[in-house]
Chain A
């Protein structure tokens, strides 16, 4: 499936990983950790998040620490895509590594508001605001990261290697 619709959850610039997954709860199991997602800036997030939601954020999303929990928690919460103006490098890598498709599109924060419906086409690189009918586009992933996302993340590649060894 290359096209789908989700509800927009809107964030601003420089949403850092301390904000997404505060260090004080990093050692909790994921089932607990997920309840604190975005807590310092959006304490209501966990109570209002729905399976299939899409994050739409500003510049430098996921800046800061390399903590993978800040990316893993998105998958646990059922976030389908993270769309942003720009994404911090390690967060971008963590998305690829966990099989979560990162989308970067300049100007995207101007096209979507909290609660809007977003239609995403990863083949054409199109984002549509279903409510306002406004469009914007993005550059689909390059082949190397795309292949890792397609197989479900880097640990699937690792599993293939260890399976082969253990045969």
Chain B
């Protein structure tokens, strides 16, 4: 009898074993690999290693996906040259799935275009690759050199992680969102609670969440140190996949009596809107403790917080209101699909009427390529990270919050509790 977690099942299948155990080293076949603009580094890395980039090939062009998403549009000659290099090298390698600037943030597009399927093992040259766990995939970030190895061989070494389970019971309060759950956990258990481990998300609260919400949680699993952050596949997952892919796939679930490294039980009813204060995702307080802090900028964007659900709640709060005159409010939908849907739903109109600067889909607002902060400025942002200097000056401050808290605060010019503003 085998009693194993879903991550162990995925890794066992990927390495051709009947069973794998935590701490075991395996070489696994990769079902799909994604690389954002750092793809431009590959020819140089190969050349420096004495490998001929001209004869280099991709193991399977159906399984390798490349994006230009981080600096769209480019803001310097250096960056324009990098993107040109990416396009040229992609052509040389006959990359079938090359998503240029008209698509959006890679992680979102990976899911929308059907590159992510349940039960798969996926690597991406970006830390937020964990997002695909929302679709029951074991997905994780690696660096560029490891990606070069994957591109050629289609496989990579892994240490089988211990799985820990977070079980969310109770009910989320009004104006409390998956983003708040993640910040709450980072604050309560620390940003290393899942270091080297796989998180399995479960419980009635998780079952009730939309896929958008689960994506936010899978995304931020890496902020807890996790290698993977996975959800079981349910009818919502199947509804999503029916639109994105016509290929077959095999969802996986943990055995009911699977052994976990640890189990955490969280009463979601206790979670208030949360704020991560500078300069760590784990520096968390409830919004009531931060109320009144003045802000210069507000941001809703990224593979973490730029989906329809995020835009809808922001629009609901902004309708017939104005962004505070002293605040610059930037919103970037995560993908062009979301961008167009927001247009169709009248959401972009609400944003524009209220004084939001709507940016094109890209990673820019979360990576310090757009919307740069000056020294001494404060920004409240629905993005995954608030590291010192991430959005510009190291002497600026970034406060993380849910899109609802961000939108409410942008209207008032200071951090506010969305429960008081949104009723």
Contacts and interface: CB of A to CB of B under 8 A. Distances in A.
29 contacts: A14-B280, A16-B388, A22-B389, A23-B367, A24-B392, A28-B78, A41-B394, A60-B191, A60-B225, A66-B126, A66-B142, A68-B143, A68-B145, A86-B195, A89-B227, A93-B146, A94-B145, A97-B142, A97-B143, A97-B146, A98-B145, A142-B25, A148-B157, A155-B149, A158-B49, A158-B148, A159-B49, A159-B50, A162-B56
Given A41-B394, A97-B145, A159 B388 contact: no
A23 B390 CA distance: 7
A88 interface: yes
B160 to A, nearest CB: 12
Given A67-B38, A90-B141, A162-B56, A27 B389 contact: no
Interface in A64-103: 64-68, 71, 86, 88-90, 93-94, 97-98
B225 A88 contact: yes
A162 B152 contact: yes
Given A22-B389, A40-B388, A66 B368 contact: no
A166 B55 CA distance: 9
B125 interface: yes
A90 B142 contact: yes
B149 A89 contact: no
Nearest to B369: A23
A14 B191 contact: yes
B153 interface: yes
Given A23-B369, A154-B149, A159 B51 contact: yes
A144 interface: yes
Contacts of B142: 66, 90, 93, 97
Interface of B: 25, 38, 41, 45-46, 48-52, 55-56, 76, 78-79, 82, 125-127, 140-146, 148-149, 152-153, 157, 159, 191-192, 195-196, 225-227, 280, 282, 367-369, 385, 387-390, 392, 394
Secondary structure call for the B interface: loop
A27 B79 contact: yes
B79 A90 contact: no
A158 B390 CA distance: 33
A50 to B, nearest CB: 24
A158 B51 contact: yes
B191 A63 contact: yes
Nearest to B392: A24
A141 to B, nearest CB: 11
A110 interface: no
Interface string A133-156: 000000000111100100001111
A127 B31 CA distance: 41
Nearest to A22: B389
Contacts of A59: 192
A150 to B, nearest CB: 14
B110 to A, nearest CB: 15
A28 B41 CA distance: 12
Contact of B52 (A16, A155, A162): A162
B147 to A, nearest CB: 9
A33 to B, nearest CB: 11
Nearest to B71: A27
A14 to B, nearest CB: 5
A18 interface: yes
A154 B146 contact: yes
Nearest to B394: A40
A105 interface: no
A23 B388 CA distance: 12
Contacts of A162: 51-52, 55-56, 152
A71 B143 contact: yes
Contacts of B46: 155
Contacts of B367: 23
Given A18-B389, A88-B195, A155-B45, A166 B52 contact: yes
Given A18-B388, A23-B369, A88-B195, 7 more contacts: A14-B191, A19-B389, A27-B82, A66-B143, A71-B143, A155-B45, A158-B152
Contacts of B226: 89
B141 A18 contact: no
Contacts of A90: 127, 141-143
A98 B145 CA distance: 8
B41 A68 contact: yes
A145 B23 CA distance: 13
Contact of A64 (B52, B56, B385): B385
A144 B145 CA distance: 17
Contact of A66 (B125, B192, B369): B125
